[in-house]
Amino acid sequence: MIPRYSPADVAELFSDAHRFDTMLEVELLAAEGLAQLGVIPAADAAALRARRPVVDAAFVAEVEERERVTNHDTAAFVDLVQSRIGMPEGAWIHYGLTSSDVVDTALCANLAQAMDIVIVEATALRDALTRRAVESIDWPITGRTHGMHAEPTTYGAKFALFALQVQRDLERARHARAAIAVGKLSGAVGTYSNIDPAVETFVCEALGLAPVPATQVIARDRHAEVLYACAALGTTMEQFALEVRHLARSEVGEAQEPFAPGQKGSSAMPHKRNPILSERLCGLARVLRGYLVTGLEDVALWHERDISHSSVERVVMPDALQLTVYMLRKAAGLAEGLVLFPERALENLTQGSLGLVFSQSVLLALVESGLSRDDAYRIVQAAARRAVEERRNFREVLEADEAVGLDEASLSRAFDTERMLAHRYRFLDALTWAP
């Protein structure tokens, strides 16, 4: 991932140094598990731990140099670890294991750590949206379907629905975290031919992972599930950002991204305050969905394993987790700082819509007065068309239409925003995590 979109804490999890350090821990734990079984001397396992190499930039550089000879990064890693520890104890490193035992278990441990960060940041986004929902539940705004004025809703209802969607994403993320928090140390085709299953259990428990049956590799539907959780979060953030973009349009003016002192919206037009963060979130969500496609294509491997997934995962797994956390932090900031304009929203609702947002209420009032639904529909439809063509208030048109025949009380009730939004607190009731 390019530095622009790389949170330092997540990038560190996927650095070569952290990856090799986690692989080294797997190797040392495997030796300690073997020692518990009496396969290797306990003193040798203790020596391995005591002489544990420091994994730093120099270590990484030496692995890369050795790989030029081996053309195999895990073999190069094992060679370097053995040479750093020294013989004869170093010979026990990688005993009974295959590369994927170490690489897959380490990768899953790192992915579980990254998913922990995702869950924390997704919770922060959910809570930010929840706070805005509570704050603005009483602020009417025009609801729109097909991009057209529909009926009144509230800002708070919008925020609550986004918060509920993030909550569902959180549940998916927790499930994906559990699915990826697994390990295997079962050998070349997963049959424990040269390693006791007790070693796998020992190592996984020490790393906070669950041992699972596998071929040479852990099944890749688990990795695809992580990518789906990331893509789902990205799509939710895109939906929220797209709403902001629409509400921020000049002719709507019902919301605006936070604009910092000294910020410039356009290099050419000083008046601009463009929704650039929302647009960025929409764009990056497309990248996350692309990573999901490649992750799904990694699931089907030849027999007990081929290597076609490896190169893909070196790119998409770190990138997806970094990008998801970056987006979550930006989206939470957007939710917290989004500027709302309830007065403009009310103006658009009552004047900008010409009152047409109350057309269904008028329709129902006419049905209650004794008209058939179709007759009532045609009367309201014709009145609405006249209001649009003549740029007149819809209620005034209805009052002048003899075919309507509704008294003042009935019309007032039909055009009562408070009546239409009387059940708005149901949105808040659904936010069960809210204080």
Active site positions, annotated: 146, 266
For 158, the token pair is 């919008």
376-385 long-range contacts (CB < 8 A, ≥24 apart) are 379/403, 379/404, 384/356, 384/359
CB burial of 360-395 (b: ≥16 within 10 Å; e: otherwise) equals ebbbebbeeeebeeeebbebbeebbeebeeeeebbb
Q: Please report, in angstroms and rounded to a whole number, the separation of the first and last CA atoms in the chain.
A: 37
* Helix ranges, 182-338 (H): 197-207, 221-247, 276-297, 308-337
Q: 430: Cβ–Cβ under 8 A, 6 or more apart, which residues? A: 160, 164
Name the residue among 21, 231, 28, 174 with its Cα closest to residue 107. 21
In the chain, the largest separation of any two C-alpha atoms, in whole Å, equals 103
Distance CA 106, CA 169 (A): 25
**What's the token pair of residue 176?**
């994906």
CA-CA distance, 366 to 244, in Å (whole number)?
Answer: 37
Question: Which DSSP symbol is given to 150?
Answer: E
Question: Any idea how long the chain is?
Answer: 435
Q: Whole-angstrom Cα distance, residue 229 to residue 250? A: 34
Task: Say how far apart CA 158 and CA 212 lie, in whole Å.
Answer: 42
Count Cβ atoms below 10 Å from residue 31 Cβ, excluding itself: 27
Q: Is the peptide bond before 213 cis (omega within 30 degrees of 0)?
A: no
H helix count then E strand count, the chain: 18, 6
Residue 195: DSSP 8-state: S
Helix/strand/coil percentages in the chain, nearest 5: 65, 5, 30
